[in-house]
Structure 1
Amino acid sequence: MGSLSIWHWLVVLVVVLLLFGRGKISDLMGDVAKGIKSFKKGLAEEDEAPKAPAEAAEPPRTLPHQATQSAEAEKKPV
């Protein structure tokens, strides 16, 4: 009783075709295909993008309150 026969699937297919029509389903599948193509194109463009050299990046700067806390910690005996 758990499995569906071919007749069940045919009835489901007929109901789907009646509800959506042949044109809407083909339009929907075309839109899905366009979405997949644009997604793949976006991934390919991301891989080809030139990356900035590491030496051009600025070194990290310390904030004044961080510098005073570390200096105070060095002065205090443990």
Structure 2
Amino acid sequence: MSIWHLLILLLVVVVIFGTSKLRNMGGDLGSAIRDFKKGLSDEEPAKKDKDSDRLRADPPAAESTTQEAQRDSADRK
């Protein structure tokens, strides 16, 4: 496609949609992309915090699990 083909195509699009509708569509597309990027950047720190908290947490002790089981069996009696 040459530059003339692109200019004719642009002219047809402007005639069909009009400049104001094209301007609104461009603004909507820009805000959607901006919100998408913001959502991605907001999600990353939360993911990192969750992973680091999981690594720092102490696993439950085996003794406490058996003590809870003994308490449950005593409560049932």
Q: TM-score, normalised by structure 2?
A: 0.58
Q: Which runs of 5+ in 1 are unaligned?
A: 59-78
Q: CA deviation at 1:5?
A: 3.2
Could you list the per-position Cα deviations for residues 20-76 of structure 1 after superposition, in whole angstroms to 9, with x for gaps in the alignment? 100111111111111111111111111121314243677xxxxxxxxxxxxxxxxxx
Structure with the higher fraction of residues in helix conformation = 2
Q: In 2 relative to 1, CA 48–11 (structure 1 residues): closer, same or farther, beyond 3 Å?
A: same
Q: TM-score, normalised by structure 1?
A: 0.58
Q: Which runs of 5+ in 2 are unaligned?
A: 61-77
Q: With a CA cutoff of 8 Å and minimum separation of 6, indicate the structure with the bigger relative contact order.
A: 2
Q: Could you tell me which residue of structure 2 aligns to residue 16 of structure 1? A: 13
Give the partner amino acid of 2:22.
I
Give the partner amino acid of 1:25.
L
* Paired-residue identity, %: 40
Q: Could you tell me which residue of structure 2 aligns to residue 53 of structure 1? A: 54
Deviating 4+ runs (over 4 angstroms): none
